[in-house]
Amino acid sequence: MADIIRLLPDHVANQIAAGEVVQRPASVVKELLENAIDASATEIKLIIKDGGKTLVQVVDNGVGMTETDARLSFERHATSKIQKAEDLFNLNTKGFRGEALASIAAIAHVEMMTRTEDEEIGTHIKIEGSTVTSQEVAVVPKGTSMLVKNLFFNIPARRNFLKSDQVELRHITDEFHRVALAHPNIAFSFYNNGGEVFNLPSDSFRKRIVHVFGRKTDEKLVPVEEETQVVKVTGFILKPEFAKRSRGEQFFFANNRFIKSPYLHHSVLGAFEGLTKQGTHPGYFLRLEVNPAAIDINIHPTKTEVKFDDEHTLYAILKSTVKHSLGQFNVVPVLDFEKDQNLDTPYNYKNKPVKVPEVSVDASFNPFVDVKPKTHSSPSNYTKTSAKGWERLYEGLEANPIHGNPNFQFESEMANSTIFENDADVKDTPSTTFQLRKKFIVTTIKSGMVVINQSRAHERVLYENFLKNITIKEAISQQLLFPLSLNFSTGDIKILKEIKENLSAVGFVFERIGEDGVEIKGVPVMVSESEVQMVMEQLISDFQMEIPGDSFSQSDILAKTLSKTLSVKTGEVLDEQSRMNLVNDLFACKETTLSPFNKPTYITITENDIERKFI
């Protein structure tokens, strides 16, 4: 038998490696930004076109590279970050594998322009699919400029799997936030299709958070600070009342590197237990500083999943630290049994001089002299009448117990009936529906009965109604007495501007959409004023996950989100009329069998099915 195992060519191996390192344009942005940070840059510029599919460019003013280093940087496993295996346990840089540039160059057109401070001229390299097409000297500024064009040009299947430009831009923005928040001492700027998205100056961590998420965020932040032998925790948490239904503003940074840790996230949720509403998630921006030898960041190609040596201790420290901050800054009520509130000085008497109380005595007072009480014309001075004959007030009530409106009825408790009721006790119009477990509606049909999932059925009804309103743009809106002001981050405001037209079609009336908030003066009829914040946050969350490219898809996502948020939930009690209306509305829909999320809305049980159970 002939030998069948052979070594792969370098360009094929690079493409395979690219599948792990480069999943979408946001992966390229992350790698290039981290390289710029490792190059000691103080100013970094990110330029994006068409969601990163056409162009991703990162320009920095770092140390730059020599001609030899520039060429060698595109080779696999070529790195300046480590020299021996022991260095993996003492990593203080972002990159260390030496695979990023080689993987990117294998599936895109790459241009590098770089120059060190000591050299007068720099280097300009062009690579297409791992093949160097040109390398020449060029007059370029100090630092490095990386251009990545036509991502996945030689892998059409991977390019077809990319989402719309808006979705890819959202992923790029998320990566930009993670890198920018981890390094507030570096100035960042972000441009998309020629327009400026962010311009972040070098500042403190708190100011960086405010610049990214809007100036209203400043009043929501609660400082967190604790230093132990295991870890140093600094950063901020958001006050419990600002917890959102989405998981957007939750950031962990370990040694200035963004990480994802469900285990540590659970510890923060434990500290907020009982302070946030059910279904909401508190926001936090926490920085962890640990010994590099106590953390392993080499367990995943993206380097966002890490492993700590002593996670249990870290869990307990983080939970207690967050709890301490919530109590220290009076975010939660605290009972102090050693403090006597009676000794507190009233606010109006603070900083006032102390006066000795004066006692006045009436020297002419004689307790043995009868003094006639003074008469006043006050209504409180009245003569008490005799209560004799009070029994006559209730005469005649037995004959005519209800006075006034003859239709008035007393509220009575519901009678508990048994399954063995007499025919005479059954109402003439028996109920045709009943609610089972506060989740299902059971009703009879000619061939048997139907069991309807009340939540899914209501989702289907609302979904088709919202789609109809978006199409004909004739939704009814109820005007608010006072405009409702809601605060959102810069990214959230951008999403609201994109879907404003469709929101107006379903009944939302916007008075103003500013840079950090909106004012709403009208809402759909079925949305109460107290639910507007929740509905908006859910809409933003859904559009962050899947921002559509065309208007039809945008309308579809909007209708689905509103129907999911406003539908009747499991556990809600429905009266007879509401159950009948829901059943009739469901079977009046164009699609009755499935919810908007392709789940069955009802099942039928025929008489034959019941008969077979008794065989």
Examine the pLDDT at 321 and tell me if it is beyond 90: yes
Topology (CATH level 3) of domain 452-586: Ribosomal Protein S8; Chain: A, domain 1 (3.30.1370)
Least confident range from 220-229, 393-402, 438-447, 574-583: namely 393-402
For residue 374, name the pLDDT band (cuts at 50, 70, 90). Answer: low
Instruction: Give the mean pLDDT of 210-236.
Output: 90
**326-336 pLDDT, tens digit each:** 888 766 555 55
CATH of domain 10-200: 3.30.565.10
Q: Which residue has the tokens 């948020």?
A: 565
- DSSP calls for 402-414: --S-TT-----PP
Nearest CA among 336, 224, 204 for reference residue 271: 224
CA-CA-CA-CA torsion for 130, 134, 136, 138, nearest 10 degrees? -90
Vertex 54: Cα angle to 196 and 93 (nearest 5): 70
pLDDT of 62? 93
Residue 351: alpha-carbon gap to chain centroid: 46
**70-81 pLDDT, tens digit each:** 898 888 777 776
- For residue 242, give both structure tokens: 């600002």
Examine the pLDDT at 587 and tell me if it is beyond 60: yes
- What is the rounded CA–CA span in Å between residue 611 and residue 603? 17
**492-513 pLDDT, tens digit each:** 888 888 888 888 888 888 888 8
- For residue 134, give both structure tokens: 């040109």
Instruction: Give the mean pLDDT of 434-460.
Output: 90
**167-210 pLDDT, tens digit each:** 888 889 999 999 999 999 999 999 999 889 899 999 999 999 99
- DSSP calls for 15-46: HHHHHHH-SSHHHHHHHHHHHHHHTT-SEEEE
- What is the rounded CA–CA span in Å between residue 522 and residue 29? 40
Least confident range from 364-378, 534-548, 596-610: namely 364-378
pLDDT of 389? 64
Level-2 CATH architecture, domain 205-328: 2-Layer Sandwich (3.30)
Domain spans, the chain: 10-200, 205-328, 452-586
Examine the pLDDT at 425 and tell me if it is beyond 70: no
For residue 266, name the pLDDT band (cuts at 50, 70, 90). Answer: very high
**33-45 pLDDT, tens digit each:** 999 998 999 999 9
Q: Could you tell me the pTM of the whole model?
A: 0.69
What's the chain's average pLDDT? 81
